[in-house]
Amino acid sequence: MQSYSAFAFAILALLLTPGPTNTLLALSGAGRGVRASLPLMLGEICGYLLVVVPLTMLVSEFLATHTAISQAIKLCSAVWVSFLAIRLWTLPQSTSTAHAITVRRVFITTCLNPKAIIIALVLMPQGSVAELLPYIAMFSMLIICVALVWLSAGSFLIRGASEHSPRLVRCIASVFLMVLSLGLAGNVFGIL
């Protein structure tokens, strides 16, 4: 088993990187504020745990030998992130971006987030349920900490821009999500 500090550092480094879930959290923080966006963290935690725990406990060896299934999961992720990008781009002017970001959307986005697969197959140690429980608890706490960082970043950094030009902020977030989606798809097809 790896040390808790090495595990925490690796998880933080991965979770802090921009991605589809973090983009949704930042946009919600900008539109609704941190306090009103806190329920979204439940969707993120449940999404990560739904993927990470079973993959770590049951499927890691299977996916390592069946790369086509792993690639299919990445392709599903790319399609979902594209859907989110298009949805953000086409929101009517009168619709608040924050209200389009629901716990359900954060949950599905997190379930399809490639970070979950990396955490399960690379970062999470292998072992019995009893050995993994402290790592799963630490992972859950780190998700909360990182979610608060992204909600706060949205609230403090994006909110000013969003008040002056909400459509511009939505379009930039949409383009960012589309680039992520194309990167995922390119990785699946060996383009990137």
CA separation for the pair 148, 89 (Å, rounded): 25
Check: pTM over 0.85? Answer yes or no: no
- Cα-Cα-Cα-Cα dihedral of 45, 46, 47, 49, to 10°? 80
Q: Do 115 and 13 form a contact (C-beta atoms < 8 A)? A: no
Residue 32, SS3 per DSSP: helix
pLDDT of residue 35: 94
pLDDT of residue 134: 95
pLDDT of residue 96: 60
Q: Is 115 exposed, middle or buried (0-12, 13-18, 19+ CB in 10 A)?
A: buried
Closest CA to 99 of 45, 161, 183, 27: 27
Percent of the chain with pLDDT strictly greater than 90: 30
Residue 67 one-letter amino acid: T
pLDDT of residue 95: 57
Residues of the chain with pLDDT under 50: none
CA separation for the pair 66, 49 (Å, rounded): 22
CA separation for the pair 104, 146 (Å, rounded): 19
pLDDT of residue 106: 96
User: Tokens for 31?
Assistant: 């539109």
